[in-house]
Amino acid sequence: MATINRNYLKLPGSYLFSAIGKKVREYESAHPDAEVIRLGIGDVTQPIAPSIVKALHAATEEMGNAATFRGYAPDLGYAFLRETIADKDYASRGCDIAADEIFVSDGAKCDCGNIQEIFGYDNRIAVCDPVYPVYVDSNVMAGRTGEYDPQTQRYKGVIYMPCTPDNGYTPELPTEVPDLIYLCFPNNPTGAVMKKDQLQEWVDYANKNGSIILYDAAYEAFIAEEGVPHSIFECAGARTCAIEFRSFSKTAGFTGLRLGYTVIPKDLEAGGEKLWPLWARRHGTKYNGAPYIIQRAGEAVYTDEGQREIREQIRYYMDNAKIIRDGLREAGYEVSGGVNAPYLWLKTPKGMTSWEYFDWLLSEVNVVGTPGVGFGPNGEGHFRLTAFGSRENTIAAVERIRKASL
């Protein structure tokens, strides 16, 4: 008789965004005239930039012509894209990363979720709290986290690293040494960043203890301040302790096109074994490559025109972030993030819980955000708004919140 992977049963309730979606749908069906503004889920709203659309068209034409048609892409990605990434994202920042250390994929979510497969099932993971849920959930599915304790809302086998107002939402080095450390900066959900000297401490800690840092840099393109590293490979010694994930989703609006990549240095080892060949094997066995036309679109992101266009889009979102930050601060809210990341992290007013504030915001001003507690117990009393809305909706949402009295 077939049985199931019972680890899946340890995952509590429904996924955060399904729970939010359900509440919003129920509200809208009860109030059909309400004009609900969504600043909750982190999806982009700006269309694909013209030079990238042009590259998509050109690649599509190639696919329709016998002389230029392409079948399966190389497992690890086309050389034209990997070489461009190595040059523009790494060499230009002084990072020593070769093209063949870059694994092209259809996005960072799959890579962040799948990477745990190449590590031992007895590895202890450490995550920030609050955290992007994929890191924990994928380890739950693999049976690496122990039982869920509904009382503490934590898995017994996971090391949680609190990110609170007291530490500026950046974690302290854990006293109990983890094997795998998930870090994400600029951070989703808090919008916090680590300065280079801070991240260097993590790299030194990992090298000293034989831990591997799984570094999610999906929001790298939003960094505006000096001294904030765009890649963990800007830190000395990262090649021997780090894997990095990148995404085209927020950088260039590829949430629907799907493109990302993972960097695994060839010298990186765990327990005396190299990790690069394991990920190459996994990729080759379970993945048949990102589509040619999407990889060509990814290449177009790095052209001068592509860069100019995506910079403009990022500026648009970050102007939204400023509108939210300034507007809510004027209304008396404590707000952080939104400077090097498209996320604003607010403290809920009057001691409301995250979900109480969610319900109030939805019913009183018809604005949807994300309850901080959905990202972990330390997110309680916090709330995330995103800068990915249209300008019009962003301004309207801030005005509504400012005018509403609690």
Q: Which residues in this chain contact ligand PLP in the complex, by CB under 6 A? A: 42, 107-109, 112, 132, 184, 188, 216, 218, 247, 249, 255, 260
Nearest residue to 220 (alpha-carbon basis) of 264, 263, 268:
263
42/229 with CB nearer ligand PLP: 42
219/327 with CB nearer ligand PLP: 219
We find the least distance from the C-beta atom of residue 212 to ligand PLP, in angstroms, to be 17
Tokens representing residue 325 in the block: 């930050």
We find the least distance from the C-beta atom of residue 162 to ligand PLP, in angstroms, to be 18
Residue nearest ligand PLP, Cβ-based: 107
Tokens representing residue 285 in the block: 């066995």
We find the least distance from the C-beta atom of residue 189 to ligand PLP, in angstroms, to be 8
42/327 with CB nearer ligand PLP: 42
193/401 with CB nearer ligand PLP: 193
Provide the Cα torsion 138, 19, 258, 346; round to 10°. -90
Half-sphere exposure of 289 (CA within 13 A, CB side): 18
Cα 91 from Cα 97, distance rounded (Å): 7
We find the least distance from the C-beta atom of residue 244 to ligand PLP, in angstroms, to be 12
181/401 with CB nearer ligand PLP: 181
We find the least distance from the C-beta atom of residue 317 to ligand PLP, in angstroms, to be 14
Nearest residue to 317 (alpha-carbon basis) of 332, 337, 299:
337
Cα 250 from Cα 313, distance rounded (Å): 10
What's the distance, CA 174 to chain centroid? 22
249/394 with CB nearer ligand PLP: 249
We find the least distance from the C-beta atom of residue 96 to ligand PLP, in angstroms, to be 24
